[in-house]
Structure 1
Amino acid sequence: MVEQTDEAFESLLVYLRDSRGFDFTGYKRTSLMRRVRHRMAQIGCETFENYLDVLQAQPAEFAALFNTILINVTTFFRDIEAWDVIRDDVIPRILAERAPGESIRIWSAGCASGQEAYTLAMLLAEALGQDDFRQRVKIYATDVDEDALTEARAATYDAKAVESVPPELLTKYFDQVNGRYVFRKDLRRAVIFGRNDLVKDAPISRVDLLVCRNALMYLNADTQRNVLSRLHFALAPNGTLFLGHAEMLLSHTDRFVPQDMKNRIFRKVLGNYVPRDPVDPPSAAPDRHGELNGLAPIRELAFRASPVAQLVVTGEDTVAMINQQAETTFGLSNRDIGRLLRDLEISYRPVELRAYIEQAKVERRSARIQDVQYLRPGSDPVWFEIHINPLVDTDNGLLGVSIVFFDITSTRALLDKLVDSNRQLEAAYGELQSTNEELETTNEELQSTVEELETTNEELQSTNEELETMNEELQSTNDELHTINDTLRERSAELDEARTFLGSLVDSVARGMVVVDREMRVVVWNRDCEEMWGLRSDETVGASLTSLDIGLPMESIRPLIGNAFVDAAGGEVVVDAVNRRGKHTSVRVTCSAFRSAEGSVTGALLFMEPRA
């Protein structure tokens, strides 16, 4: 193949952007040129200049090119090990950080034909239960490929496509219809599909989990940086980013920190992220003058004997120390030392600690959680004030985090008593004030009652006169309503006659006549179409023309309709089809723009006529 110039290729990209709104200028040139050349080889085109001429002369070529560039390769539970981490770690953490009934927002960016979005739906429905899932979860699934989005919205897949779905989930979440597997409609409403270009469109905001797998790898470094800024903005605090195996984010640690590097799962950085340096060994600490020997056991015993419950975790969230009071209060033991904090109940009960710990680690600043109630089985409630303190060395390097539980139950009880006493005093004072006000107003009310009784008689007399007048007005109004009702009957009869005339006119057209809107949904389907394709009007109106099971080859008709939206003059094509009797026939299809009364193109008008 003749070597192409960069200028010719860039001109081709600019034409794609200006003519069809697809901006590929941010994609990596090597992979993008390889895909374009692959398509050019399929149609025997040698140079980018020649291929640009083909695109200008043959609008249908755009669809083939975009399908080649936008490789929509996706399956259910793709990379099952990574999805196990999402199921076992990420989703439980999201639920633990959300109050009961609080909404959960998920974004599947680059969703292709929908398998990834429905995989997320199944995992969340399993974690929440189907009722809570329907009420709390919104999954936004986006892509730039409209054909892929149309397929995703249909949510119907063949047997090969669902091979990777576990059998118990396949039975639970899919219905079998005509040999295909259809995702359950009641759960499908939680998945919202729409077009979104990560490079130039505004991101969805306040997202708890953002799945963007193997999309960044096709973008150049500048565009990746731009897209990652959008993804960082889209995530809620502590939100999770799930990437593909080819994407590392090694140069973006100011925005994301790894939660599971092997499976490319990252967390959004809160505030300005400070990279953690390796902790220096204790021997590297400077010697202190007057250091006493043998203090380590004393420090250990003092920590163990402290009357305040306390834990210490390392910078990697491993439990390093637990004192005796913490063991007694929370049911811990020495066997829990060395375990990850997130594996212990105390990490989320009596309060979710992990978010505060992460904040203390990142900001190098203590946090305090006040008025935390702990309910122990068979005991009275205990109230704590929890202090979370980062443990740093002289160079501000993070060594670990100390978590201290101060028992404020007695102080809380005394405070509650004082509050109750103050509330009672305020209530008594308020009652005295209201009693005095009531006595003062009672006298005024008695005086005014006499005046009111005197005027009431006059009001009753005038009311009687008003009622007589109102009765006359009601009689007049009733007569007017009768007249309006007669007029409405006449208008209804005229509308029925016009509707019957219009239906007869459409059915009298001696050719198959179809009108579709801009979403390719059937609006009109006349009698000749019923005779030709064997589907009644009530079976087709409202359905997508491309989804109808008729013998008309849609791959030839779809570009004709799309052209009618752009070029109002329309066009025609002769296709080989199979009619309702199974007989092969040649059909001339003429398509033109369908205009509204204001002159705007609202759909397309197709005439179908069998050729002898």
Structure 2
Amino acid sequence: MSQPDPDFEALLHHLKQTRGFDFTGYKRSSLVRRVARRMSQVGVTEYGDYLDYLELHAEEFTALFNTILINVTGFFRDPEAWEYLRTEVLPALLAGKGATEPVRVWSAGCASGEEAYTLAILLAEMLGPAEFRDRVKIYATDVDEEALAYARQGTYSEREVAGVPDELREQYFEQLGGRFTFRKDLRRSVIFGRNDLVQDAPISRIDLLVCRNTLMYFNAETQARILARFHFGLSDPGVLFLGKAEMLLSHGATVMPVDLKRRTFRKAPRTAPQNGTLFADPLPVVVRTAPDGLDLLRDEAVLASPLAQVVLNADGLIAVVNRQAEVLFGISTRDVGRPFRDLELSYRPLELRRHIEKALEERRTVRITDVTYNRGPEVVHLEVQVSPLANGDVEPLGVSVAFHDVTDFRRLQDELEQANRQLETAYEELQSTNEELETTNEELQSTNEELETMNEELQSTNDELQTINDELQDRTGELDRSNDFLETILTSLRAGVVVVGPELVVQVWNHQAEELWGLRRDEAVGEHLLNLDIGLPLDQVRPVVRGTLAGDDGPQEVLLAAINRRGRSIDVRVVASPLRGEAGAVVGAILTMEEAAGVEDVVVR
């Protein structure tokens, strides 16, 4: 296994110290993956930087916990398992209770409450609503306060209650708009509260404990601690209902499988192991004529036994040592007749004298398991059986001490347990990843719905813009036609027309003005009127234009001598009229210039 990252462990310690969430018992692979996912969302790559980010942004804790505590749940999730619970487990559980005896259920790791309310529906269907309210208490716990707050409301969307059969949804939920609320009278029997399975004490006297797809997030050591708490909390016989990712193949001392396929287990009894049967008490003696050489045959049978065996007489002296005992412990027939207490074997590999005394006193076989014997570099695992030897009901003749070498069995058992743990871990990791993918899929579906809504809004906006564009095109066409019409009018006039603004900047210069003065439109428009180089004495036009811009009544007229574009002297009549805008305000002046024949004097009016 890879060494833990100290920066990551420091982050977990900070979460435990500041927020009371202890994630140190969670599996590091899935935990690292989820924290990394949240870090990528806020644009942080180092655990130390993310720790600083958490200290600066208190709201980030909620987002992080929601990412770590994947609340993937639903009503009647894995229907086959719930059907087995309804048809097999709950009827047997209720049959073992008195008619008025309370039924206590614990939903551990309840997330947003769907699982707890599913239990309420099943029990209410079996007992009836009235008896359910009187007898049943469902304790629903989780470490996520936000999920618990949502669960207490008991209100879910149409998509969240999709797993509830139609007839049950109509019977146990009240619909308001697009939301479904669990019946208030039954909701009082479902009690939500915070409980950390790793740190907090378990709820006691539980008949049914439901903890689905929660243990798989913890490492093996933490799982064992939680299961010990579950064992304490369950009544006898209590039922444990787990998720499909949790097989508990290596926890036979705590729970026993009822149906491994549906992940239902029963509390294992805490009883002492039964005595071994390798050396049973001797059968009643039947007096028969002994065959010849029977004593020699018995001696050889003991000496050739595959089990190491030492036989003591009633005085505690060694009577028999077989060949396997010689090989295993180094004692031999030379030790026959010696007091057993003088041998190293009497206290190594374990203290045998008190077990011998117990076997003689109680007249029964005493079995000692899990004995480890270091024979040089080799470690031998033994099971020891101490059997009293008696002739009927008289005083014991002695005691037989047999040593069974279970090293190979123990090794195979350890390998099997390790393989089971690896299988459980791999399966739990697969299920955890699957739930993360389910969460991601739900987020993607939500994002897709938002994008579809946004696309519809954009399409609507596009249609509006298209309508506005069509209107603008129509108005542009009208404006172009108006401009063309105005241009036609200006071109058709015999007089030169010039339009100036308040600052005497030329805005319009028609074709006839070009013909009079030889200055093109693009050369005149945008220039100051008095700066134009034409054959018209503009300094004499200035007072007329100024008067018009000042708002003098009526048009201003002046007759001036000028030189046209051909260099010929002409008389020009210049008439200035005000150009009025909104509310009648003067915004410019319109000058019409037309050649006047037969005028000899300059007249100003």
With CA pairs under 8 Å and 6+ residues apart, which has the higher RCO, 1 or 2?
2
- Name the larger-Rg structure: 2
Task: Please give the TM-score of this superposition, normalised by the length of structure 1.
Answer: 0.44
Task: Please give the TM-score of this superposition, normalised by the length of structure 2.
Answer: 0.45
